Structure 1
Amino acid sequence: MSSQGPEISGPERRALFEAESTSLYDEALASGGLAATDERIVAGGAQHRAFGLLVELGLVRRDAESDTWVAEDPSTVQSRVVSPLTQEGSRLLEESSHWARTFAGLSTSWRRAPSTAGHGPFTYLRDEAIGPFLTSLVSEAEDEMLTAQPQAGRDAPSLAEAAVRDIAMLERGTRMRTLYQHSARRSSITHKYVTAVTERGAEVRTLDEFFNRMIVVDRRVAVIPAADDLRTAIAVREPSVVAYLVDIFERTWERGRPFANRESSMMRDIAAEQRAMTIRMLIEGHSDPVSAKRLGVSPRTYAGYVADLKQEYDAETRFQLGYTMGTRGVSGNETPTES
């Protein structure tokens, strides 16, 4: 019925159908029909387009005897409208799946190429591109994944996502070693993550020192944060640089303490290491936010560490604390037995 109004399609067509056409249909059904002379549905009427859509879809038909538009059974119309859309949707989903598989193969080749198809051994990843890249990279891990994860920034959603990704990798037989700071031991969500991955063979240790985030897969690709932009990561494929980063990880790993070990002697040692690092931060003159970040704790928790030291050395101010520690030769580098 071309005289019923300008042609519309897509979402606009469905929106008009839901907003106006359905109410006209209900009215036609309840009253036994809509008069053909109804000012709302004639050319130029307020609901001319909505009514035209009912006619086009076959939901109303004109009764010549009464000169009214009467409603038709919608079940006879639905298959004509919905089935083609369903078939087209299935076709598009299948087609998109083929395209996705093809691109996945190209992406794998691109990541494994020594020079990354002309882009060199370093690739910058920004914002939303980081997560999918890591997921794809981990899904291809065959032998080993090394990760260094400072406690700051590991919230519940990111840990839950990492758990799904890492567990799938571990169940394929890939080895995994992860480093946290000692402060991670206070996080319940981190404990849940560690429990989940260690049950599947992962090894997790903690360290008092501050370190940057790093992921190394199969000792061929390393992902590190960009120094000047927290929203940017760098994927490194240069073999000598990756080997250097792995060497740093291995040296740090040797100094770490097993996460699963909760013996009282180890917990005392960990507390002593955090105390010593707090002393070093004070002596070196770092601000509280910087010191808290390096210990992997909140500024409030760090302030509590400083307060404990003031009480220990009977000092009222930080200046008095520094002076007292200086006169006693305390540097923060002593072994637990020396302090």
Structure 2
Amino acid sequence: MNYGPDERSVFETAASDLYEELVGSAGVPAGDARIEEGGDADEAFALLKEIGLVTFDKAADRWVAVDPSIVQSRVVSPLGQQGAELISESARWAKAFQGLSHAWRRSPEALRGPFAELRGEAIAPYITSVVADASEELLTAQPQTGRAIEQLPDAIEREVGALRRGVTMRTLYQHSARRQVATNKYVAAVTAEGAQVRTLDEFFNRLIVVDRRIAIVPGHGGPGESVALAVREPSLVAYLVDIFERSWERARPFTNRDTSLVRAIEAEQRAMTIRMLIGGHADPVGAKRLGVSPRTYAAYVSELKQEFEVESRFQLGYEMGRRGVTGRDVPPASDRGDIEQSGESA
């Protein structure tokens, strides 16, 4: 017999308490009113008896406990087997649906629609499917804090698989992603397979482009609703690729080992913070555009106050204006040259 949540609930509470009592008192008499039908421990005793955790000792006329290690496999093994069968069946269903997806994308019906809206749980499987179909190139832009820990295994498996098929891949993050543990693990995994990764000080929207034939961008939905738009219209996909390329040229290789590069990145984040302050943006907006938490953004502002030796934001704005600080200073040519030297090795 397979046991489910209802039986486990009884087992974890009343049945476990009764079993411990049986062990401590060397069993319970056969005529004990608690274990008779309608008794206080009737349901718990019936479950222990069915599982095989109690047995009747005729000589002592008592129900006594049985070693759980002997019985465990009778309950756990069938559940494990059932789980393995469900996983196998799930994989077969996924493979069958993948075949249908391939047929749909090749059909005239699919080609007639240059746009497709994806919502909620449909987004991740769709991305996995189109990445699995990639044959030449993947371009991805991931704003703000980059990869979440829970997404890491799936992302690595999906994109490393594409790289091993010979697909080239370039990924763009914001500078703040360099501080994220999950992103660093992801970058280490994909660059080991030949991917290139860079970071940029500016805010940008999420973008995935597959083989320059389909792009996936954020859509508009209600509060808390995840919406994505799959774009197949060639001119619009080309336009999105051009935006990516322009950002890629301004970005810096993802490495924390080059001291001069790290200093340049810190200077770019400082300049971006200054631009947010001069533009009058609220802290939540500034934090989002830098891809950092509000607390980290507040720390950036605090560092600027110390640098300019002021106590308030009003004084900071006045002092930056007096000195002609705009936050749009062009980094030295030697720093920009780091991209040319190390971009291909990122």
TM-score (structure 1 length as normaliser): 0.69
Distance in 2 (alpha carbons) for counterparts of 1:180 and 1:21: 52
Contact conserved, 1:25 with 1:71, CA < 8 A, in 2?
Answer: no
Deviation string, structure 1 residues 166-189 (Cα, Å, up to 9, x no partner): 333323322110112234445565
* Aligned pairs (5 A) from 1:196-215: 196-215=189-208
Distance verdict in 2 for CA 1:302–1:112, change over 3 Å: farther
Distance in 1 (alpha carbons) for counterparts of 2:178 and 2:258: 13
Distance in 2 (alpha carbons) for counterparts of 1:86 and 1:145: 38
What corresponds to 2:117 in structure 1?
A: 123
Is residue 287 of structure 1 aligned with residue 320 of structure 2?
no
The Cα of 1:233 is off from its aligned counterpart by 3.4
Secondary structure, counterpart of 2:319 in structure 1: helix
State which of 301, 315, 318 in structure 2 corresponds to 1:317.
315
Distance verdict in 2 for CA 1:83–1:255, change over 3 Å: closer
* Aligned pairs (5 A) from 1:1-339: 11-13=5-7, 16=10, 19-20=14-15, 23=18, 27=22, 34-35=29-30, 37-50=31-44, 92=86, 94-110=88-104, 116=110, 121-126=115-120, 128-152=121-145, 154-159=147-152, 162-187=155-180, 190-227=183-220, 231-240=225-234, 241-260=236-255, 266-267=261-262, 269-297=264-292, 298-304=296-302, 306-307=304-305, 310-311=308-309, 317-325=315-323, 328=324, 331-336=326-331
Distance verdict in 2 for CA 1:85–1:180, change over 3 Å: closer
Distance in 2 (alpha carbons) for counterparts of 1:318 and 1:280: 13
Deviation string, structure 1 residues 230-286 (Cα, Å, up to 9, x no partner): 651313133233332222112221222333496566555545544443443333322
Q: Which has the larger radius of gyration?
A: 1
Distance verdict in 2 for CA 1:118–1:76, change over 3 Å: farther
- Bigger shift: residues 199-208 or 280-289: 280-289
The Cα of 1:190 is off from its aligned counterpart by 3.8
Distance verdict in 2 for CA 1:301–1:202, change over 3 Å: farther
Letter matched to residue 272 of structure 2: M
Secondary structure, counterpart of 2:96 in structure 1: helix
Distance in 1 (alpha carbons) for counterparts of 2:113 and 2:164: 33
| Aligned-residue RMSD, C-alpha | 4.7
Secondary structure, counterpart of 2:216 in structure 1: strand
Contact conserved, 2:26 with 2:65, CA < 8 A, in 1?
Answer: no
- Bigger shift: residues 242-251 or 14-23: 14-23
Percent identity of paired positions between Structure 1 and Structure 2: 48
Secondary structure, counterpart of 2:93 in structure 1: helix
Distance in 2 (alpha carbons) for counterparts of 1:186 and 1:44: 62
The Cα of 1:303 is off from its aligned counterpart by 0.4
Contact conserved, 2:118 with 2:230, CA < 8 A, in 1?
Answer: no
Distance verdict in 2 for CA 1:177–1:112, change over 3 Å: farther
Deviation string, structure 1 residues 15-61 (Cα, Å, up to 9, x no partner): 55674499479959x868844x5433444333445555677778757
- Bigger shift: residues 188-197 or 175-184: 188-197
Aligned length: 321
Distance in 1 (alpha carbons) for counterparts of 2:108 and 2:275: 42
Distance verdict in 2 for CA 1:133–1:320, change over 3 Å: same
Distance verdict in 2 for CA 1:333–1:112, change over 3 Å: farther
Contact conserved, 2:15 with 2:48, CA < 8 A, in 1?
Answer: no
Unmatched tracts of structure 1, length 5 or more: 1-8
What corresponds to 1:4 in structure 2?
A: none
Contact conserved, 1:17 with 1:50, CA < 8 A, in 2?
Answer: yes
TM-score (structure 2 length as normaliser): 0.68
The Cα of 1:211 is off from its aligned counterpart by 0.8
Letter matched to residue 244 of structure 2: F
Contact conserved, 1:310 with 1:317, CA < 8 A, in 2?
Answer: no
